[in-house]
Structure 1
């Protein structure tokens, strides 16, 4: 029987969780396939960690059911679930060596000493920490401590590994490097990962699919590309990446595109069509900064808006321009700094009159 015929590896069915009068998780339904890296993404208090704790068995749902590999998890205590949770703090024992920390999770397993030693050696090799087996946690780096915690979690060979903000304690450069290490380790082990994070870039890098959460509810589920390029609401569009939004109204359809009147632009623009919206409907038009082109001359195509450079920030690989429109509205646009140089490499400078252009396919029309 194939995986699809057998059903999803993890099925969360109408799960809610209340603490007194406060509802932390509201009627969440999700499926996760075996071998996926699945991210729960959202701000503080959105319910993602509470959902993770229910999967681990540390909390029981107020209503709804959780199935793991076809088995109902209702009433199954944490120690009897084929699940391991890796905490943000890593929870390493400071008095134990790296090897003993990894072995600690195996102490209740029915294994001989030789089998346990072999498993620890295998895990240390997996996370490339064999040379550090005899060191204590304070004698290794933050990234290495994170890998010790991961090796300990994987040593018990769980079917599902839950990671709560696993990279939050690392600096930016180390966090970016460790993301790829995590992906490599997951690919080699085949264990299903569920990652809780508030960091959108981390979720986009790590996950095969993402569930964006807000106020205990799942707002959208999809691949990183689907979530970024095709958000289903103003909340998701604003939460993922940078975006500028404008009030607009649909005026009709032409040649498979949606005609949208945008008062802040003082003109009509064309956008990719959206099923279900009707002529005269109030909508939101959203534009991502990297989808806009900046030029001194009016660009070709149906979408061109004139403005003035109000602010300019140089980031090395690219520059951020804040363009003031005649209406007073501000639009953010990115330009890649492809040429090496100083002012001569800029597309425009402060107070320059410029034109913004964008492809109809880049314009996101949101009805909710």
Structure 2
């Protein structure tokens, strides 16, 4: 499938969530869901805008699927209200909602062909036979399954079954499509390919997609914005860049991707520079910080992503800028495109470093190998201060 690399709204740079006058398409207002004494979703409020591909991201038991099921109408909130395009959906049954759900298992009818699976939901729509046939053909063309229209699910690959389920979910032209772990059953390579196919389809149709996933890379690839959930709460909402580069809490920083986190204490603050004493690193760390400045003496955490740390055998010169610490390579993992180094500092602290293998080299030409004494450097702008 050809992939249109422009994300939704990219032509105008439209980000409605930044416009205080923009009207949300979906409003989740103080929604709580309890099962007995257990609170699965805890007073969640969230606005989603028309045409977004929005991701609910979190580990098992965080409440993301329960929230999706409430949007679909399969669960009723214990408290709070749900609105779609200005309409209160809180008490509406699933069949009266302008939303459809694509399940993780795909739930295809094994005895039906691809064509009949896609058209099944149109049986009771006010359409002529010709209109139904045209709608099914349009969707099969969209997901590039027209040549396989006569096959049954067991004759399809995992990726093809996923596309049949997607076409069937879109057949009734819902205002919102809810996707529960839509790529979870696919292998890694096929999942990567299908992510872009899904983005392309959503972009062409302009339908609002809400995706539930536990896969951080999947959420980062697919979504215009992400809500990170933990124990029924939303910990942060933002674009993939905001979530990754500017996490607001230690939980979000640690959950998204790989990161080194160290406890510290603020020594001094000057303009946009904060100096943090970090005993685990055996050094003071300079941080460029543009948010609310912590006061001297404040207990904080500092975090730096492994790919933002440079590793060298040679000690940096006196004119070097940035933060510098020394250590020894204890572990090395080679992954082809990059290498992971675990570097032990004199304090005993382990630091993870990712180095891109930008040129072909054998083992003897690597940046460092086991037991090498190395120097790690990272820019003040790469360090994150976490106060929560």
CA contact (8 A) 2:269 2:293 kept: no
CA contact (8 A) 1:93 1:101 kept: yes
SS of the aligned residue for 2:122 comes to: coil
Q: Does 1:115 align with 2:131?
A: yes
Deviation at 1:276, TM superposition (A): 4.3
Tell me the residue number matched to 2:377: 357
SS of the aligned residue for 1:231 comes to: coil
Q: Does 1:34 align with 2:50?
A: yes
Q: Does 1:203 align with 2:223?
A: no
Tell me the residue number matched to 1:95: 111
Deviation at 1:302, TM superposition (A): 3.6
* Aligned pair partner of 1:293 in 306, 310, 335: 310
CA contact (8 A) 1:339 1:345 kept: no
C-alpha distance after superposition, 1:286-345 (max 9, x if no partner)? 111000000122331141000011111111011100000000000000111112121233
Change (3 A) 1:269 1:276: closer
* Aligned pair partner of 2:355 in 331, 335, 354: 335
Tell me the residue number matched to 1:23: 39
Q: Mark the runs of 5 or more structure 1 residues left unpaired by the alignment.
A: none
SS of the aligned residue for 1:167 comes to: coil
Normalised to the residue count of structure 2, the TM-score between the two structures is 0.93
C-alpha distance after superposition, 1:201-228 (max 9, x if no partner)? 0000000000000000000000000000
C-alpha distance after superposition, 1:263-296 (max 9, x if no partner)? 0111111012241411101111111100000012
2-structure distance, mates of 1:275, 1:259: 14
Deviation at 1:74, TM superposition (A): 2.1
Deviation at 1:6, TM superposition (A): 6.0
SS of the aligned residue for 2:167 comes to: helix
Normalised to the residue count of structure 1, the TM-score between the two structures is 0.98
CA contact (8 A) 1:308 1:323 kept: yes
Tell me the residue number matched to 1:230: 246
**What count of residue pairs does the alignment treat as equivalent?**
366
C-alpha distance after superposition, 1:2-30 (max 9, x if no partner)? x7646100010110000111100001011
2-structure distance, mates of 1:189, 1:13: 27
Matched ranges for 1:179-328 at <5 A = 179-273=195-289, 274-299=291-316, 300-328=320-348
Structure 1 runs (4+) greater than 6 angstroms displaced: none
Q: Mark the runs of 5 or more structure 2 residues left unpaired by the alignment.
A: 1-15
Tell me the residue number matched to 1:144: 160
1-structure distance, mates of 2:106, 2:261: 40
CA contact (8 A) 2:260 2:305 kept: yes
1-structure distance, mates of 2:265, 2:281: 12
Q: Does 1:85 align with 2:101?
A: yes
2-structure distance, mates of 1:203, 1:22: 27
